[in-house]
Amino acid sequence: MLEAALKFQKAFELLETVDSKYVEELTPQSENDTRRSSKVRGVPTEMDWEYAKDLLPFLQIFYDSTVKMSGSRYVTGNVYMNEIFGIGGLLNSFQESDDFGLSTMVGNMKKKYDKYWDNVERINILILIAVVLDPRHKLSYVQWAIDEAYDPKNAKMLKVKAEKVLHSLFDFYSAEKSPHKEVISHNQFREMDKMDVDAITVKGASDYMHAKYSQKADTLDSTHNKTELDIYLMKMKEDFHCPNFHILDWWRDNAHRFQILAAIARDVLAIPMSTVAFESAFSTGGRVLDSFRSSLTPRMVEAIICGQDWLRKGIQPIDLEESITELEEMESGLTVEHSIINIED
């Protein structure tokens, strides 16, 4: 709306020449003028227009982020962290603006942002896992983003937690995929890498060093002792700027290589990041609740929807001809019941 209004700045300025009452109607005559709404502040001044121009790019950021995070027809899990952390970084930048009004407004917004995102213990780790499952980002990008968003202490805590959840998820899905096979967890692989060469027969210091190096080389050159997760994280990332990249297509095409991770991606990327679809976020029409996009219990959702239907439904005439048979049966039943009661008395 603000973007559209800016295009008609000259029209607003020339409106007074066409409508002599324009300025008078929008300007309060006095502080005690109760005839006009309390929201009336007069016609836009030159300063108001300049402020709107400066504010528009800032508001555009939030609009674009809302579109990306609130879509209902595409994956949103792998973009959520980028948008949230990006907004936090931009708020910090705008807070240092020379514009006092903008800086004050952003300062208040930053307080609300920190209320939800400053406490790393309350962050849902799955929003980070979803980015790890994006082959354009993976774990290294998530770790960098966390370092950018938080102080060293909180960043370290969040990174450790994210890695722990990632490996726990992988171990759980590995067991689900191979229930009758012995599943070696990620931690067990690390223990295998730490095995010494005590069992190897060596004849001297040189033999010991060569044996030690051979064991290390086998670990580096072979994927035998690496999990599917290790191989995925070591694999070269996809081009982030590829315009035709679709994350679901990528996992479909690579499911034969990363069967366990593909199963994790299928479940994690299916989670909607917003309980309000973009189609409704900027709509002035009635909101629609359903059991999949609401934190309410199904019974409460049903009560709200039924109540809304009853309130909106107008009075409709009853067609007695269509219901006459049913009404006669009801009336006959009441007559028989009344007769039985009289006999018993």
> pLDDT tens digits, residue range 266-293?
999 988 887 665 555 444 455 554 445 5
pLDDT of residue 157: 95
* Structural contact between residues 203 and 192, judged by C-beta atoms closer than 8 angstroms: no
pLDDT of residue 284: 44
At a CB cut-off of 8 Å and minimum separation 6, what does 15 contact? 22
pLDDT of residue 184: 47
Residue with tokens 């679901």: 248
CA 62 to chain centre: 13
Q: How far is CA 161 from CA 122, 158, 166, 173, in A?
A: 12, 5, 9, 18
Q: Is residue 72 part of a domain?
A: no
What ranges in the chain are assigned the alpha helix state H? 2-6, 9-18, 22-26, 46-69, 77-95, 100-117, 126-132, 138-149, 152-177, 186-193, 205-221, 228-234, 247-253, 259-268, 278-281, 298-312, 320-344
> pLDDT tens digits, residue range 79-125?
899 999 998 988 888 888 777 777 888 888 888 889 889 888 889 99
Q: Is residue 294 part of a domain?
A: yes
* Structural contact between residues 260 and 170, judged by C-beta atoms closer than 8 angstroms: yes
Q: Is residue 304 part of a domain?
A: yes
Q: pTM for this structure?
A: 0.63
Residue with tokens 């559209």: 4
Q: Is residue 6 part of a domain?
A: no
Range of the domain at 306: 284-314
Total structural domains in the chain? 1
Q: Is residue 207 part of a domain?
A: no
Point out the residues of the chain with pLDDT beneath 70: 28-41, 178-224, 275-296, 312-324, 327, 331, 333-345
Q: Is residue 112 part of a domain?
A: no
* Structural contact between residues 155 and 146, judged by C-beta atoms closer than 8 angstroms: yes
Q: Is residue 23 part of a domain?
A: no
Q: Is residue 309 part of a domain?
A: yes
Q: Which bin fits 183, alpha (ψ -120 to 50), beta or left (φ > 0)?
A: beta
